[in-house]
Structures are given as structure tokens and as C-alpha cells.
Amino acid sequence: MYKKKPLFIVFEGIEGCGKSFQSKKLFNNLKKRKIDCILTREPGGTRSAELIRNLILKDYFNKNTKEKFDKITDTLLYLASRNEHVKNKIKPALRKRKIVICDRFIDSTFAYQVYGKKVDSKLIKNVHKYILEGIKPDITFILKVNSSTAKKRLFKRKSNNRYDNFKESFYRKAQNSFLKIAKNKKNYHILESSRNTNHLEKKILNIVVRNLN
């Protein structure tokens, strides 16, 4: 029997791992069971946060110019988007005892900005003290994918942003970072997603339902 209680669920992984696909599947499966939930994403999730998303995910300014954001500016924009998202969407939904399903959250910041771009983790942790106010995911799904499958999925996308065009070595490093973050943590579930099958969809749903009962 489902007891109405707040639950914060996050999907993490590199581009092409299927996290957006599986987060939507979970959202639809919970809706079918008449479970009150919302589906959101980072960067973005609210009108103001989506404006920041457009700024940081489009190829900066103009592809023909060398002017780009400094990595600190880039990171602070992600954190500004998160602040809007947490304050105006995630926290209010959890207060109403809803299930929040989020496509990316803080682990992506550490995988890409800290491990990938070598931004000092102290900066992010200090800002998070003010932004998160104790909010953290109850369940995190790390979707692991092989490089050939990820490439095929990215190729099929109708629209791409700058994170879809990095070298394979960057994605490999990012995926290893996600796996490192998840290591030995009970609320993390590392799942092979090279094949987006019904089996994976059911496995994710079963894990969530167990946490709701």
C-alpha cells in the first residue's frame, strides 16, 4: 500500500545514457498508479532557471568567436539555476509530499565541473550550504552506458547542446566520476542502460515502489 510521503529521485549519467528517457518512463508509471509526482530537470525546471539553461547550454554567444565563459562563471550560472529550481519547485513539491523526479542534480556538477573542469569543490560545497538547506536525493540512479550506444543516441537527437559534442575521453572520464561518487552509497543504484529495455524500466519502478511502501 502506497503511503503518501515526499521522495526525491534523481537520474544521473553522461549524455546518451538514457536518463531523460527513463525518468519520463518512471514519471508515467507512477502517474498510472495515481501517485502524486512531478518531473523536472537541471539546469532548468522553472521559468527563470530555464532562461539560465539556455544561456549556458547553447554554444556560447557565437560558434565563430573564441570568447567563452570562464569555468567559474559557468559553474556559478549552474548554481544560480539550481537555487531558482530548489527554492521555487523542488522544496514546494516536497512540502506537499509529492515525489520529485529530477533529470540531473548535484552529482552532475561534481562530475563535470569538479572532476572534468577542475573547479575547486569547496566553491560548490559552500554555495550548496545556502542553496540546498539540507535537501538531498533519497534515491539516485546512475545509468551506465557504453560509448558506442551513447554515440548512436546523440546522433539521433533532433537538437544538440555543447555537452553533446565533447570528445569520447571526456564522457569516459565523466562516467567514471559518477561511478566514483556512487561507490558504497546505499541510496545509489548503478544500472546498465546500454539497452533501454522494459527490464530496466521495471527494475527502476520496483526500487521506487519498495521505498514508498
pTM for the model: 0.89
Please tell me whether residue 78 adopts helix, strand or coil conformation: helix
Q: Please report the pLDDT score of residue 153 as a whole number.
A: 67
Convert 136-173 to b/e letters by CB count within 10 Å (16 or more is b).
ebbbbbbbbbeeebbeebbeeeeeeeebbeeeeebbeb
Which domains does the chain carry? 7-212 (3.40.50.300)
pLDDT 10s digits, 115-172: 988 999 999 999 999 999 899 999 999 999 887 776 776 666 555 655 556 677 778 8
Is pLDDT at 176 greater than 90 in this prediction? yes
pLDDT at 110: 96
pLDDT recorded at residue 165: 60
Return the number of other C-beta atoms located less than 10 Å from residue 52's C-beta. Answer: 21
Specify the pLDDT at position 60: 55
pLDDT at 167: 72
**pLDDT 10s digits, 60-95:** 555 666 777 889 999 999 999 999 999 999 999 999
pLDDT digits (tens, 9 = 90+) for 22-57: 999 999 999 999 999 999 999 999 999 999 998 887
The pLDDT, as a whole number, for residue 213 is: 82
Say if residue 185's pLDDT is above 70.
yes
Which DSSP state fits 162?
A: G
| Nearest alpha-carbon partner for 109 in 75, 84, 153, 157 | 75
